[in-house]
Amino acid sequence: MPQLLDTELRQAVEDAAAHLYVWSLKDIPQDLRDALAAAAERETSEPGRRVLSTILRNVEVADDAENLVCQDTGIAVYTCRVGEHFPLHPARIYEALREGTARATLEHPLRSNAVHTLTRENTGPNVGHRLPIVHWEFVDGWDGLDVKCVPKGSGSESMSFLKMCTPAEGVKGIKQFVLESVVGAGGRPCPPGIVGVGIGGSADYAMYLAKEAIARPIGTRNPDPHVAALEDELFGLLNETGIGPMGLGGDVTVLNCHVEHADTHMTLNPVAVNYQCWAARRATAHVAADGGVEFDREA
């Protein structure tokens, strides 16, 4: 197969990004639909049941009308896994994601949320200085590109917390901080959603890990058995808080709890919490070196 020109491959990535942003906002993954339906089954409080039934109806209406599941189009966040042999430089990939985000916003059209942090003036169609946000991973010996889009609503993103625990506080300190954070957040992050926890690394990396945790399919478990046991324990504890759907009280406060970890300095014990609301939107595009694109709602 002849080598694609940079411009053609760049265009394929831009088109993929434009589609991903809109699609992720409209068509939520099956694991999320299943988790919401299971939550509605197990919720026993009357207000909680009403909230969950309204959420399920909201998803149905969005499907029927091919419209957004929530008005908040969020901040566009992408994670790119770039193969060592993918024939487009990351600088061009970033350009393509930025253009794709702007095009999706103008063409759909979507609400544009991007503002200058100090002046609060709109900076463009969901783009601006360092927007969209792109995280990078590089994969040895591969020639593909995976782009995952996780638009993050402000209600849940505002419920992000970081604590530099001491090593002496240990796992107990981590659990206590996660519980305090979720209880303090109450109904504000539109529960029930996914609680992402990042532990270890440094302050910034712990928060990055918490964001990575919320982007996993619901209920998946960390391959490290110690971390997976912590996920199970936190999931149980968080649902004993009684906060319930939208904070109105009930059995289902979270759909799950995911934890990602990194090794850390011997005198550090960072823990970050990032809440993802019930509208836990995510969608992925697999881009091949020849410009072929496959979309994947479940990754």
Residue 20 binds ligand SF4, judged by CB under 6 A: no
Q: How far, in Å, CA of 279 to CA of 151, rounded?
A: 10
Q: How many CB atoms lie within 10 A of CB 76?
A: 30
Residue 25 binds ligand SF4, judged by CB under 6 A: no
Asked if omega into 109 is within 30° of 0 (cis), the reply is: yes
What residues from 187 to 206 belong to the interface with ligand SF4 (CB under 6 A)?
189-190
Of 100, 155, 191, 198, the one binding ligand SF4 (CB under 6 A) is 155
Residue 153 binds ligand SF4, judged by CB under 6 A: yes
Q: Which of 25, 37, 17, 104 is nearest to 65 (CA)?
A: 25
Residue 156 binds ligand SF4, judged by CB under 6 A: yes
Residue 277 binds ligand SF4, judged by CB under 6 A: yes
Q: How far, in Å, CA of 277 to CA of 109, rounded?
A: 23
Residue 245 binds ligand SF4, judged by CB under 6 A: no
Q: Which is nearer to ligand SF4, 36 or 93 (CB)?
A: 36
Q: How many CB atoms lie within 10 A of CB 46?
A: 11
What residues from 42 to 71 belong to the interface with ligand SF4 (CB under 6 A)?
70
Q: For ligand SF4, which stretch binds (CB under 6 A), given 102-110, 135-143, 254-262, 274-282?
A: 274-282
Exposure string for 7-17, b = 16+ CB within 10 A, e = fewer: eebbbbbbbbb
Residue 254 binds ligand SF4, judged by CB under 6 A: no
Residue 279 binds ligand SF4, judged by CB under 6 A: yes
Q: How far, in Å, CA of 180 to CA of 290, rounded?
A: 49
Residue 72 binds ligand SF4, judged by CB under 6 A: yes
> Contact residues for ligand SF4 (CB under 6 A)?
70, 72, 74, 153-156, 189-190, 277-279
